[in-house]
Structure 1
C-alpha cells in the first residue's frame, strides 16, 4: 500500500497551477482617514471569503503598496497611509496607483488600480506679495505686460481658474493658456500721462474653481516713466526646437532675437528669463543676456521631463527700459539610455520532479522607462533548460513554466538566466539569475547490488548467528531513499526454508533460526 500512495499524494500537492487574472478599478479622494475602505476586492472578484487566508490573499507589488493594505479575513482594501495627491502625482491630471493582488491554490493574479481624486486642500499663492512695474507714458494702448502667475498644487477645477483685476481706468486683464497653467497679462487700454498721475496701485486676484472658492492677492504698483517710445520686438512670438537628451553642457539650444527701432541705449537689447520661470528650468538652461543664446548647463533627461516651456523677456537699455516677451518650447528627444528592469515574483523555490508541463514557477515583470522602441522589451531564457517563458495578457508580463520532464536524480538544481533586451539602437540588456531546486518524489525502486545471489552455509551452524548480509540502494532522497528488508514467506510447506530464516529490516543482516544438516538438505532458495 505504501509504495503507491506516496507518489500519488505528492502529485496532487504539486500539480499543475492554473493562472487566472482580472483587473478592477476604484476611486478615492485624497486626505481620507486612515483605515477608510476603498472597496471589497474579494467580493468584486467573486472570491470565497472563507478561503482567503488559506490562499494567502495579499498585495505583492511595488513600494507604493504601503499606501494600502488588504484585510485577509474579508478581502477589504483600505487606506494604510495618508493619501496626499500632490506628493504622489505632482500636478498630473490622472493619479493612478497600480496594485497586484495574488491568491494561491489555484494561482490567481488580479490588477487593481486606485485613482486618487483631487480635493481643494490648497489655496492659490503668489511668490511675491507685491510687484512693481515701470511703464513709459507714451506706451501705446494694447501693450501687454506679463504678471507673476499664482501657483496652486491642486489640479483640474481646484487649481487656478481665473484672475481678476481691481477696478481702474487704464488697464484690463488678459489671460493666456500655457498647458495646464494660466498666465495673466496686464493690457494697457488708455494712454498714460505721468504729469496727471505718477503711480497706479492695483490688486491682482487669483481664484481657483473649488468649493468653497479659494483666492490670493498680489499688490501691483505701476510706475509711469518718461519717453522711451519703442519696445523691442522678437522675430517670433513662439520659438520651438527639438533637443536630444544627455547632450553635452554648453550645447547651443536656440538663439532668440529681438530688435528695437530706437537709437543708442534705447535700442540696445538685453535678454532675461521671465520672472515666473520654474526653478528646474533655471538649473538646466542659461540665457546670454547680450546674444540671446540659450545653452544647456544641466543634465537633460527625457524620463524626467519631455518638454520645457521658457518665457524670455527682451528689454532695451533706455531710461526707463521697455520690454517684450516670447515663448521658447524645447521638446526633448529620447535616447536609449536606460536598461530594462526585471522583477521576479517566485511562486515556489522548490519544484517537484514530477511536475506537469506548464507548471508555473515564477512571475516575471519587465519594464523600461524609455519611450517608443527604446522602451519596448523582449524577454528570453539563456541556455538549454526545461523551462520556458509564457507571455501574459498584459504587456511585458511573463510566467516561467516547465516545458520538459524534470528528473532530480539527473539534475537537482537549475540556475536560470533571464535576459531582457530593449529594441533601442544600440539595444540595452539586463540579466537576472533565478535559482530553482528540484525536489524529490519516490520514483525509483531500490536495487540490490547483485541478483540472483548465491551464498554458502556451513552445516551445523549456530541458530541465530549471522549467515550473510544483503544491501540495496535507492536513487531517491531522504525518506524516499530509506530501504527496509524482509524475507518473503511461503505457505509453510515442507520445502519452505524461508520460515527458518530471519532478516534485520534496517541493515539486511540474515540469520538462521535453526541448524542445517548437509545430509538432509543440500540447497534451497528464498
Structure 2
C-alpha cells in the first residue's frame, strides 16, 4: 500500500505539472530530458547551458541553481561544462510507484536578473525488479468433492516495474489435477487462479505440491516463484459467494470515526457449520488500511476506524474474505473500492522561489523584488489560491504563470522614512469555507544620495579678540545628513572668497572632518574689523550633494596702540616742541594745546593728559581731557624765560598705554596774544588804527558764532541717531560714497569720556578706505572742529605740518580750511 500511496502522489504531481506546462510563458520554453533509472552519480543528463541558451560564464555570474520539488536533490549543474548531471541514485519505483509516467520537474532559477526556467527529466524504467509473491508458501485445503472447473484465486505477484518490464504471465508446474488461468481484475492487476481440471481423490493423493512462477516482460526476463501446498479435504464442498464481486463506495475525508462505509454480504448453501460465515480482510491487508477500516466478522459491515486524508491517499482497495466454518473451511472473496472525497481542510501555502533582494529607494515602479508561488494540497475549488496584499501597500503582485507571482514595487520609496518593509502576503483558497495563510517577506531599502547636508545654523557669528594666537580655533560648524553610509559622510571646506583682496584661505583653515575653523595668523582690529567665511558641507555620495553656511567673524579691539601725538609735532622742530608766550600773560592764558589720537576704539581710545614734569609746576596746568596748556597764574618777572614741560598722554585701556611729549616755552616781552590766524588776516601795516581792529574783532566773532551754531546742529543730529551719548565722530569710509546716493551713511555718536566725537561711516563694513572724523573739545575756548583724514593715525604728516604752523593762533584757520575742503 506504501507503493500505491507514492504512485498516487506522483500521479497528482504529474497532473499538476501538466497544467504548469500549459501555462508556461517564459520565452525560452521548456526543456525535457529522458534518462533511465539507477544511473551512476555524475552521469550526464544533458547540456543545460546550451539548451537554455546560456553561456558558461553566465552560470557562475548569474548564480544558476537547480531546485527539485521532489525533496531530494537528484541533479546538479557542472558549472565548468554547463551540463546537468546526476547527483544521487534515482529509483523510479520509489519515486513514482506503479505510475506509467515518471517525470521529475526541476526549477532552474537564475539570479541577477531573476529568471525562472522549467526543466523536466523523465525517468525511464529498467527491469531491475523481479516479480515476487507476498508469501513464498501458499497452502490450500481443497475438499475432494470439489467439482471440476472450480477456481481458487491465488495471491498475485508484485512487480514494481512498469510497462514491458512489469508482470506479464504465470506458469504452473505440471500436475494432472490442476491448471492455471490468468484473470484481469480492476486496477490492471493479473490474478492467477488455480483451476481444478480433474476430480481429487484423497485416497490416491492427499497432498499436491505445485510450483507457481511469475514472469515479467523484461529483457532478460525476471521471475519469482511460490510453493503451493494443496491439502485434499473431505466433505465441505461449497464456497461462500458474495452478492457482488466489486463494491464501490465514496466517503468524505472528514467522515467521523465509526461511520458506516459499506455492508458486504456472502451466502453458503451448505448446512450447519459448513454454511456459517465469518468475514475478515485479506491476510495481506496492510497495517495502514487496518488502522483506518474495520469489519464486523458476523455482519460483514465495514466501518471507519481512523481518519481519512484525501491528500495522503485518495483511494483504497479492500480485499474481503467470507469463510465458512466447515471442514475444510471454504472461503469466498470480493473487492471493496473506497474513493475518498476531498474537503477544504488544507490552508494554502506561500513558497518563496527566490529570496527577496534589497531595493534602491529610487527604483522605478515595477522593479522585481522577489519571486514566489502558491499551492494548496486540496483539489478543485479547494485548491484554487488567490494572493492578496494589504491596502495602500508600496508593492504589488504581478502574476507570472500558473501559481507563480513576481513581487514588484508599486510606488515611490523613501529610505529616510522607511528603511525596511515587512510585506504581509495573504493566500486565500476558493473553498467553502475558505482557508487562508499569511507570510511576511522582509524587503530592505538601499540608500540613495538624495539628501544634502544641513547645517545646524544658516549663519554663525564668531567674536575674536585681536592679536589672537595663530592656529587657535575660531569656531566649529556642524552639519548632518539624513542619508546612510558614504552618502552621510560629510567633509567641510571653505569656499574661495576675497578679504581685503586676499584669499580667505590665507586667513583661516577648516578641519574637513569635524568642521573646526582655525586662524592662520594673528588679526589686527585696526586693519580688519569683520569678514565673512563661506563654509561648504559636502557628502561623499555619487553624485555628491552640498550646502553652504556663512560664518561672520568679528574682530574685537584690544588696547594694543599707545596714544599718538599729532600736535605739537616733535618731527618738525626736532625732539622738542617750542612755543612762545608773552610775559604779560594772565592766569588762564592758553599757551598751546596738545592733541593726540589713539588707533584703538571705545574705552581703549579715551585719552587723558597729565603734566608729568615742569620747570615751574606752579605756573602751568594741563587740562585732563582737552590737553590745553594754560597758565595757572600771571607770569612774574622772576619766572625763568625758558620753561620746559613733560606732558604724559594715557588711554583708558587695560593695560594702560601711554606716551609723552616735551614742550619748551620761551617767555618774551612785548609779544601779544594772537586772535586770528595770520593767513586769514588782511595784509595791513603793522600799525593800524583802533577802528580797523574793532572791525576785525567783530568779523572774528561773527564767524565764530556761525561756526558754533553749525557744530551744535551737527551734534544734535548725531545724538539722535547714535546709541551712545557724549561725543560724536563721523567717518566716511569711501570718498566715492558722497557721489553715490545709494550708499548707506552711518552716524555714530561716541561719548566714551570727555572727548566728544562723531563718526560718519559710509559703504561696506569691510572697507578700509579713508574716513573723516570730527572731534569737538568742549573744554576748548576755541570750540575746535577738526576733520582728520584719514581716520587711521599711522600717517599724520599732512596734519602735523598744518598744526605746527597754526596752533594756537591759527587753530581756527586750520579747521576752517578742513571744513571747506570737505564741503567742496
Q: Distance in 1 between matches of 2:431 and 2:149?
A: 51
Instruction: Extract unaligned runs of 5+ from structure 2.
Output: 1-25, 534-824
Is the 1:466–1:512 contact (alpha carbons within 8 Å) kept by the matching residues of 2?
yes
Larger RCO: 1 or 2 (CA < 8 Å, sep 6+): 1
Is the 2:102–2:122 contact (alpha carbons within 8 Å) kept by the matching residues of 1?
yes
TM-score by length of 1: 0.88
Q: Which residue pairs with 2:277 in the alignment? A: 269
3-state SS, counterpart of residue 135 of structure 1: strand
Over residues 377-416 of structure 1, what are the superposed CA-to-partner deviations in whole Å (9 max), with x where a residue is unaligned? 22222354311222221x2222222111111111112111
Q: Distance in 1 between matches of 2:94 and 2:500?
A: 91
Q: Distance in 1 between matches of 2:237 and 2:356?
A: 80
Distance apart, 1:488 and its partner CA: 1.7
RMSD between aligned residues: 2.7
Computing the radius of gyration from Cα coordinates, the structure with the larger value is 2
Cα 1:257–1:266 change in 2 (3 A) is: same
Q: Which residue pairs with 2:342 in the alignment? A: 334
Is the 2:499–2:531 contact (alpha carbons within 8 Å) kept by the matching residues of 1?
no
Which is further off, 472-481 or 364-373?
364-373
Is the 1:265–1:318 contact (alpha carbons within 8 Å) kept by the matching residues of 2?
yes
Q: Quick check: 1:377 aligned with 2:393?
A: no
Q: Distance in 2 between matches of 1:450 and 1:63?
A: 64
Is the 1:30–1:119 contact (alpha carbons within 8 Å) kept by the matching residues of 2?
yes
Q: Pick one of 495, 503, 507 that aligns with 2:514.
A: 507
Over residues 99-142 of structure 1, what are the superposed CA-to-partner deviations in whole Å (9 max), with x where a residue is unaligned? 22222232222122222221111111123233222223443444
Is the 2:507–2:519 contact (alpha carbons within 8 Å) kept by the matching residues of 1?
yes
Q: Which residue pairs with 2:703 in the alignment? A: none
Q: Distance in 2 between matches of 1:523 and 1:98?
A: 81
Q: Pick one of 241, 248, 252 that aligns with 1:240.
A: 248
Cα 1:493–1:464 change in 2 (3 A) is: same
Distance apart, 1:228 and its partner CA: 3.2
Q: Quick check: 1:34 aligned with 2:41?
A: yes
Distance apart, 1:499 and its partner CA: 4.9
Distance apart, 1:350 and its partner CA: 2.7
Distance apart, 1:151 and its partner CA: 1.6
Is the 1:163–1:175 contact (alpha carbons within 8 Å) kept by the matching residues of 2?
no
Q: Which residue pairs with 2:53 in the alignment? A: 46
Distance apart, 1:72 and its partner CA: 1.6
Over residues 428-457 of structure 1, what are the superposed CA-to-partner deviations in whole Å (9 max), with x where a residue is unaligned? 222221222212121111122332555555
Q: Distance in 2 between matches of 1:316 and 1:496?
A: 121
Cα 1:182–1:460 change in 2 (3 A) is: same
Q: Distance in 2 between matches of 1:314 and 1:236?
A: 12
Q: Which residue pairs with 1:108 in the alignment? A: 115
Q: Distance in 2 between matches of 1:263 and 1:328?
A: 27
Over residues 154-187 of structure 1, what are the superposed CA-to-partner deviations in whole Å (9 max), with x where a residue is unaligned? 2222221211233444434132233143211223
Over residues 194-253 of structure 1, what are the superposed CA-to-partner deviations in whole Å (9 max), with x where a residue is unaligned? 555544433321111111001122222333333334332222221111112243333321
Over residues 263-291 of structure 1, what are the superposed CA-to-partner deviations in whole Å (9 max), with x where a residue is unaligned? 22222222222334344323322222211
Task: For 1:270-349, list aligned pairs within 5 A.
Answer: 270-349=278-357
Instruction: Extract unaligned runs of 5+ from structure 1.
Output: 1-18
Q: Distance in 2 between matches of 1:155 and 1:180?
A: 12
Which is further off, 262-271 or 452-461?
452-461
Is the 1:165–1:202 contact (alpha carbons within 8 Å) kept by the matching residues of 2?
yes
More helix by share: 2
Is the 2:169–2:182 contact (alpha carbons within 8 Å) kept by the matching residues of 1?
no
Q: Which residue pairs with 1:435 in the alignment? A: 442
Q: Which residue pairs with 1:350 in the alignment? A: 358
Q: Distance in 2 between matches of 1:399 and 1:314?
A: 59
Q: Aligned pairs, how many?
A: 507
Q: Distance in 2 between matches of 1:345 and 1:226?
A: 70
Cα 1:29–1:458 change in 2 (3 A) is: same
